[in-house]
Structure 1
Amino acid sequence: MKIFINADTYKEVAIDTKKKLEEICSSYDIEIVGNASEADMIFSIGGDGTFLESARLSNGIPVIGINCGTLGFLTDVNPDDLEETIANILDGKYYIEERMMLEGKIIKENGEIIKIPHALNEIAVSKNTFGVVRFDAIVDGKLINSYTADGILVSTPTGSTAYNLSCGGPIADPTAKIITLTPIAPHTILNRSIILSDESVVSIKITELRNDTKSFVLYDGRPMEVTTGDTIKIRKSNYITKIVKLNWCSFIDNIRDNVK
């Protein structure tokens, strides 16, 4: 078996956990590779942020999350259980849960197209620390609303418990087949989330940025600057994230234990 390790390099507990995993792999004759594409499984050591990075690297390779963060919606293996986890994986005592991802592109006014990398949680349009963004939200070619807001989230079901939750959006079963639109601090009566089919194509057209306001597309928190006249087109990706699960835990159990 070959594994790739993606660890948070800023947390001491994650660094220590990586060393422990390397020692366990040596005793089980498991090869640690330096390129994710060569691995049979990716071990993500850190919090949910590290897991999101691992998901972008995975290209369909199963990912298991070792929780060195806080809530752990995506990383549910305790570092103390590493050796038992390895033994269970080698014995085939696990299952794979598939999660949808989003992909997108920025279409500039001059026709230039910039690809937005795949995202497991959300692709968002947001502003800097002051001002507002004016934009049109369009679904399958039809205008939903023209917003003046801090931004808008286009979220997967997995992302429903991330930024979407902080903005008052709905919590969704992570295996559901939906896309959620949630405006961020909108200056409008239409301030509710909108739930769409996972086959929908969402377009966000930036219509105005006043004064020195800057706007960004964020794919799972990583920014790309956009400006007036740009259109951000978002759809379900052909890629999925395969999450390794050792113990069956229902969506309801997870919500009860983590969202408090």
Structure 2
Amino acid sequence: MERLAIVYSQSDRARKAAKELCERHTFVPIEEADAVVAVGGDGTMLDALHDMLDVERIIPVFGINLGTVGFLMNRYHGAGDLMSRIAAAKAMAVRPLRMEAVTQDGARHTHSAINEVSLLRETRQTAKVEISVNGKVRIGELAGDGVLLSTPVGSTAYNLSANGPILPLDSRMLALTPISPFRPRRWPGAILPETSKVTFRVREPAKRPVAVVADQREVRDIAEVHVEIAADREMTLLFDPGHALDERIVAEQFIT
């Protein structure tokens, strides 16, 4: 990977690091690059991945953490060793979700999600959602704040905050997790094969409006949502040896 592009957040730390990198290395436009260096936090990484999905040109991404959490990123060790780090990096495959949302007026919206697709109530009224998996209704009516479907990459994000399970990166599974459920109160959610096709239908949508969010992209007043893995849009994240995402996902389960 000789031709690299660079993207970075507008924080002072990220801009300073990007300037140092540009002084030591030659970067090309992303259209000509073999890989992308993303400097910032996890949000910068997600933005870079979504930008590639939008233009349908998917190349590996090496993240450098100058943000807060940096779960998807590598540490910054200075500008000089970038090429050798990328040459030695471990590649991890990531498969995003493909979401199609149908609004109450019949409009259709398609978005991708690297972390999760979440349905959330829009008002004080409890959301009521029917959940089907592969065409079979599994939950006739989930009442609560909402529900989400997470990839393994996203399982340590919103999914974990909602008490969902952490999924190993190579598990090829999805986490279906309720958000503050009222009924059925003791349903903990489900772990599904990534080949599953999940459909959410909003009950009483006029009285109990629901929005859907695919990572940062929101569609309001939905009637139903269809979600499945986009196997044809597989993406590659690059990690330093010993700092790979799969190891951090395992380690996250032992944090007390």
TM-score range with shorter-chain normalisation?
Answer: 0.7 to 0.9
Q: 1:163 aligns with which of 147, 158, 167?
A: 158
Return the alpha-carbon distance in structure 2 between the equivalents of residues 88 and 170 of structure 1: 32
Return the alpha-carbon distance in structure 2 between the equivalents of residues 154 and 253 of structure 1: 21
Query: Structure 1 residues 175, 57: CA separation in 2 closer, same or farther (over 3 Å shift)?
Result: farther
Aligned to 1:154: 149
Aligned to 2:83: 86
Return the alpha-carbon distance in structure 2 between the equivalents of residues 166 and 241 of structure 1: 25
What RMSD, in angstroms, separates the aligned Cα atoms of the two structures?
Answer: 2.2
Return the alpha-carbon distance in structure 1 between the equivalents of residues 166 and 248 of structure 2: 13
Q: Is the 8 A contact 2:211 2:220 kept in 1?
A: yes
Unaligned runs of 5+ in 2: none
How far off is 1:124 after superposition?
1.0
Return the alpha-carbon distance in structure 1 between the equivalents of residues 16 and 125 of structure 2: 43
Question: In the alignment, is residue 194 of structure 1 matched against residue 187 of structure 2?
Answer: no
Query: Structure 1 residues 200, 45: CA separation in 2 closer, same or farther (over 3 Å shift)?
Result: same
How far off is 1:245 after superposition?
1.6
Q: 2:47 aligns with which of 48, 53, 56?
A: 53
Count of aligned pairs between the two proteins: 246
Aligned to 1:14: 14
Query: Structure 1 residues 96, 107: CA separation in 2 closer, same or farther (over 3 Å shift)?
Result: same
Question: In the alignment, is residue 205 of structure 1 matched against residue 201 of structure 2?
Answer: yes
Return the alpha-carbon distance in structure 2 between the equivalents of residues 97 and 109 of structure 1: 38
Return the alpha-carbon distance in structure 2 between the equivalents of residues 254 and 195 of structure 1: 16
Secondary structure at the aligned position of 1:172 is classed as coil
Partner amino acid for 2:83? I
Partner amino acid for 1:107? V
Partner amino acid for 2:70? G
Question: In the alignment, is residue 232 of structure 1 matched against residue 232 of structure 2?
Answer: no
Deviation by residue 1:118-154 (Cα, 9 ceiling, x = unmatched): 2111111112363321111111111111111111111
Unaligned runs of 5+ in 1: none
Partner amino acid for 1:199? T
Secondary structure at the aligned position of 2:67 is classed as coil
Aligned to 1:243: 237
Partner amino acid for 1:191? W
Task: Provide the TM-score with structure 2 as the length reference.
Answer: 0.87
Return the alpha-carbon distance in structure 2 between the equivalents of residues 233 and 144 of structure 1: 15
Secondary structure at the aligned position of 2:171 is classed as coil
Aligned to 2:69: 71
The list of structure 1 runs, each at least 4 consecutive aligned residues, that deviate by more than 6 angstroms after superposition, is none
Partner amino acid for 1:32? V
Return the alpha-carbon distance in structure 1 between the equivalents of residues 210 and 8 of structure 2: 30
Return the alpha-carbon distance in structure 1 between the equivalents of residues 28 and 104 of structure 2: 46
Partner amino acid for 1:61? I
Q: Is the 8 A contact 1:120 1:241 kept in 2?
A: no
Aligned to 1:136: 130
Aligned to 2:34: 40
Task: Provide the TM-score with structure 1 as the length reference.
Answer: 0.86
Secondary structure at the aligned position of 1:20 is classed as helix
Q: 1:124 aligns with which of 114, 118, 123?
A: 118
Return the alpha-carbon distance in structure 2 between the equivalents of residues 169 and 82 of structure 1: 38
Return the alpha-carbon distance in structure 2 between the equivalents of residues 208 and 184 of structure 1: 18
Q: Is the 8 A contact 1:131 1:210 kept in 2?
A: no
Return the alpha-carbon distance in structure 1 between the equivalents of residues 182 and 206 of structure 2: 15
How far off is 1:87 after superposition?
3.1
Return the alpha-carbon distance in structure 2 between the equivalents of residues 53 and 104 of structure 1: 17
Return the alpha-carbon distance in structure 1 between the equivalents of residues 154 and 187 of structure 2: 19
Secondary structure at the aligned position of 1:6 is classed as strand
Secondary structure at the aligned position of 2:165 is classed as coil
Return the alpha-carbon distance in structure 2 between the equivalents of residues 184 and 247 of structure 1: 35
Aligned to 2:3: 2
